Structure 1
Amino acid sequence: MLLFHGNISYSGSDVQVNVFFEKLHKLSVFAQANPVMCYVSTPKEANTIELINEILARNKKVAVPKVGSGFSMDFYLISDLCELSTGKYGLQEPMGKSDTLYTIPCERSPQNPQLIIVPGVEFDVNKNRKGHGCGYYDRYFHRYGAHNFYKIGLAKDCQIKDAIEVRPHDVAMDLIITESGRII
């Protein structure tokens, strides 16, 4: 399947999207999370475009990232993928209107988990993640406290390694879901 949004096409299979959603849907943290914080995928990442549509169709809120100056990043609530436009690094981002800025509650609780679906270039069996090298997500987690998030990495099977290099500031995932349905 080839998906189009704006001027960017996204490749991914219906099977991949269905597997991700099926595995997410079974997690109690997903059932309780509202909003679900989720990256907007590029063609080289595990596809989240249809996943976001599935989440929105379940009447859940979705918050997606927008990068700012000085390597900052914030999340904004969207109700439709049409609210995205091409931003920094060619990424699809929300318009960033102040009334849609998602404010993180002080602490994660069982009643209101801060579920965040995180991109990565590589992951390992110890749930470590290698991002694109700019540190946006690691800085975001340190800014709000990594322990306040339930962090899920979505990965293509070829992105899972036995071990990857980890630096002191890198934040590990709580769970990784692969396109074949493997949960790490």
Structure 2
Amino acid sequence: MSLNLSDRQDIRTHVRHLRRALSDEQQQLAAVQAAEHALSFAPLERAKNIALFLSVDGELNTRPLIAKLWQRKQRVYLPVLHPFSPGNLLFIRYDENTELKKNRLRIPEPPLDIRHLLPLSELDVLLVPLVAFDAQGQRLGMGGGFYDRTLQNWQHHGFLPVGLAHDCQQVEKIPTAAWDIPLPALITPSKIWQW
């Protein structure tokens, strides 16, 4: 294969193809295995407020994990596109009764209700989607920069960002850009990575 995997866009295309090629059974098993790792990961066990994402485009399915977090009475938040700060995310409470609607990127999100908004300083763990990752903790997102902006000052805000991905999303090396923020931890169906 003559893929130039030193190019970020080539990596995105290649890994998204691998991810989408997983069968329903593989996706289901991966979701359950990753949820088990996440639920036993100490920072997540202790967390009160956890932000994560709803899966699209072959991403690891987060619904089994969300259901377990609700059972454990932990509060779950989902990202919402900021209405007047382009490229930024807000995090809104998500429970069994929340009605989701698709945003302009075709991703389901809860209604923007200021009463359910969580400031980043009150977030404990942020589970981050990604297209690809490497063994150094570098992540490659979809290219919109939404999570890069959210992760910029994560230590200052006091939350722990944790990547969530399929094992097949690991690549040898991600060419980094100045704005890239490496992840301190990442969970796949087979293991928990920490850097």
Structure 1 vs Structure 2 CA RMSD = 1.8
2:172 is aligned to 162
1:73 is aligned to 89
Name the TM-score, length of structure 1 as normaliser.
Answer: 0.82
- Kindly indicate whether residue 102 of structure 2 is the aligned counterpart of residue 93 of structure 1: no
2:11 is aligned to none
Name the TM-score, length of structure 2 as normaliser.
Answer: 0.78
CA distance in 2, matches of 1:48, 1:178: 12
Gaps of 5+ in 2: 1-23
2:49 is aligned to 35
Deviation at 1:80, TM superposition (A): 2.0
Please say if residues 81 and 88 of structure 2, whose CA atoms lie closer than 8 Å, have aligned partners that are also in contact: yes
Structure number with greater Rg is 2
- Runs of at least 4 residues of structure 1 off by over 6 A? none
Deviation string 1:85-120 (CA, Å, 9 cap, x unpaired) is 1112000111111111112227xxxxxx72110000
By percentage of residues, which structure has more strand?
1
Gaps of 5+ in 1: 1-10, 107-112
Deviation at 1:82, TM superposition (A): 4.4
Deviation at 1:20, TM superposition (A): 1.3
Amino acid at match of 1:103: P
Paired residue for 1:133, among 126, 129, 143? 143
Amino acid at match of 1:62: V
Deviation at 1:124, TM superposition (A): 0.6
Amino acid at match of 2:135: V
CA distance in 1, matches of 2:97, 2:185: 26
Deviation string 1:146-175 (CA, Å, 9 cap, x unpaired) is 212211111112110121111111111111
Deviation at 1:76, TM superposition (A): 0.4
CA distance in 1, matches of 2:44, 2:70: 13
Structure 1 129/15 Cα, relative in aligned 2: closer, same or farther at 3 Å? same
Q: How many residues align?
A: 165
Q: Percent identity?
A: 25
2:67 is aligned to 53
Deviation at 1:81, TM superposition (A): 6.7
- Kindly indicate whether residue 53 of structure 2 is the aligned counterpart of residue 44 of structure 1: no
